[in-house]
Structure 1
Amino acid sequence: MSSPGRVSAGAVTQFAVLDALLAGVYASGMPVAEALGHGDFGIGCCDRLGGEVVIVEGIAYACTVDGPPHRMAGTDILPFADVCAEPSVTPAPTGPADLVTLTSLIEASTVSRNLFHSVRVDGVFRTVRVRATRREHFPLRPLAEVADEQVETVLTEVEGTLVGFWAPSIYQGIAVAGLHVHFLAADRLAGGHVLDLELREGALSVGAFARFTLVLPTDSGFLASELSHDDDHRIVAVEGGAPRSSGRHR
């Protein structure tokens, strides 16, 4: 077990809950400028699920189906986001690993299975399979239906950064329990929510947080919805994903 001294004094701040997205309740969001006020590192999704967000080194990038990732404006809306101040952690060299092996390495680096952890991997990847979803229009559909039409891209021999979080199992439905990571290529030409990967070599940084701040939406749709957490298979299906033959290659 690692020492308490490795636990950051900061907090992971989250806007909204995953079960709201699963229920189709994501009409409002936190402005990017406000999210960056809580930290320089994180992930999220674009307005009406119109793409995946990577926040790294204080810049928020939108990974959409319309072209390469672009820097987001402060007024852009995040219907879901996890943000923190990136902790100062000495990176650990990591050799070849698939997603299962990398997840095991990350979990072995956690301070406690009851704490939130930031996860960063800078490296060279043999492949990274990422997804982005198209922006929804009213009436908003549940996330699982949107994900059925997600656009997948298989990146090959690419350098870049994994950004994300590992969350305790007791928070499933509020957050994504376990590992949830997005990818941003070093050349900023590709990125998205990670479905699978094969790492050649990299550097792994894992930071622990004992503070978790949840900010809930206050729009009429959220306030009128009575959310409940059902079977976990919905989250596994949306956040994992099986290989698809329709993926693009870059």
Structure 2
Amino acid sequence: MPTLTCEISQSLWDALRKAADDSGHGVEHVVSHALADALQVDHGTLFQVSTSGALVEGLFSGVVSVETLREHGDFGLGAFAGLDGEMIALDGAFYQIRSDGSVRLARDDQQVPFAEVTHFAPRETVALAPFSSMDDLLAQLDGRRGTDNLFFAVRLDGRFARVHDRVASMAAERETLVEATAHQAEFHAEDVSGTMVGFWTPAYVRGIGIPGWHLHFISDDRQRGGHVLDCAGSEITLALETIDDFRLSMPETAAFLAADLSGNNDAALEKAERGRGHGHGH
């Protein structure tokens, strides 16, 4: 990450130190936010389209385009209209990973029912200890959060000993998320180089976001990937960003306006997102 060095007046320095002390954040944080505001650049903002509750209820119709998502981030994940595969956004490129195992660049006019994107600007990059399972990996990621009450973006790069992922298949008419992911495609790979992209979402936004960690994978050769169910690796590099601004774009479709989104969807999300006990393998 670039380093800025410049001279400022003593009075400005005093005001900067006071602002940092009052906010509880460091000087770098205050300066970054002030510059972003002055230059009208998004800073530490997670932009989400639609809600997890809507997804659980089967609202899979597209509500924004990939082109619109680009305006809000260069890094993230999501789904495509009709649940036609998984989305991963990495270094400004948006990919569609389909249930037949193919990967292609998404068109700007493709529609999206749910997505999370940000302009990724990690504050730290570290080497992770070897991990033998998804639980081991998530324990390491949890150890670096420091709080349960903010959002976090993560990028994991390296050669993975094992990756088990799933790709949602096109949903049938009126299917819920659990029903649609019951016929998802699942894939297993060993000794594969690639990148995982993901977010931590606090539990207090359940019904809006997907609580906990949510990771998507794409191989370096852009030939495979999906929603991560399990993995193992060593010499994996982690880049982590704390996100303190969350923006939600709610659909205005007739289906969304008429849907009953008042129910508790924790169990349905656990089954659909964590891959508990269903799917077919490849």
Q: 1:111, CA displacement in angstroms?
A: 4.3
1:12 aligns with 2:46: yes
> Which residue is equivalent to 1:132?
167
Q: 1:242, CA displacement in angstroms?
A: 3.6
- Partner AA of 1:117 in structure 2: F
Structure 1 distance, partners of 2:199, 2:225, is 17
Aligned match for 1:102, one of 137, 156, 165: 137
Q: How does 1:163-178 map to 2 (within 5 A)?
A: 163-178=197-212
Structure 1 distance, partners of 2:106, 2:266, is 32
Q: Which runs of 5+ in 2 are unaligned?
A: 1-23, 34-42
> 1 or 2, which has the higher strand percentage?
1
SS of equivalent to 2:55: helix
SS of equivalent to 1:201: coil
Aligned match for 1:57, one of 88, 91, 106: 91
SS of equivalent to 1:91: strand
8 Å Cα contact 2:59/2:113 also seen in 1: no
> 1 or 2, which has the higher helix percentage?
2
8 Å Cα contact 1:167/1:177 also seen in 2: yes
8 Å Cα contact 1:111/1:208 also seen in 2: no
- Partner AA of 2:190 in structure 1: T
Instruction: Give the fraction of aligned pairs with identical amino acids, expressed as a percent.
Output: 31
1:38 aligns with 2:72: yes
Structure 2 distance, partners of 1:140, 1:37, is 31
* TM-score (norm. length: structure 1): 0.92
Identify which of structures 1 and 2 has the higher relative contact order when contacts are C-alpha pairs closer than 8 Å and 6+ apart.
1
- Partner AA of 2:100 in structure 1: D
Structure 1 distance, partners of 2:150, 2:25, is 11
Question: How big is each residue's C-alpha offset from its partner over 1:21-52, in whole Å with a ceiling of 9 and x where there is no partner?
Answer: 11112223210011011010000001110100
Count of equivalent residues? 245
> Which residue is equivalent to 2:40?
none
Over the aligned positions, Cα root-mean-square deviation in angstroms equals: 1.8
Question: How big is each residue's C-alpha offset from its partner over 1:79-120, in whole Å with a ceiling of 9 and x where there is no partner?
Answer: 100000001333100131121121111112114211011011
Q: 1:123, CA displacement in angstroms?
A: 1.4
Question: How big is each residue's C-alpha offset from its partner over 1:43-79, in whole Å with a ceiling of 9 and x where there is no partner?
Answer: 0001110100000000100010134210001101111
Q: 1:241, CA displacement in angstroms?
A: 1.5
Q: 1:245, CA displacement in angstroms?
A: 8.4
> Which residue is equivalent to 1:203?
237
Q: Which runs of 5+ in 1 are unaligned?
A: none
> Which residue is equivalent to 1:220?
254
Q: How does 1:180-195 map to 2 (within 5 A)?
A: 180-195=214-229
- Partner AA of 1:105 in structure 2: Q
8 Å Cα contact 1:41/1:55 also seen in 2: yes
8 Å Cα contact 1:127/1:155 also seen in 2: yes
- Partner AA of 1:136 in structure 2: A
- For the pair shown, which has the larger CA radius of gyration, 1 or 2? 2
SS of equivalent to 2:272: helix
Distance 1:244 1:158, change over 3 A: farther
> Which residue is equivalent to 1:123?
158
1:113 aligns with 2:148: yes
Question: How big is each residue's C-alpha offset from its partner over 1:214-243, in whole Å with a ceiling of 9 and x where there is no partner?
Answer: 001111111111212315221111111146
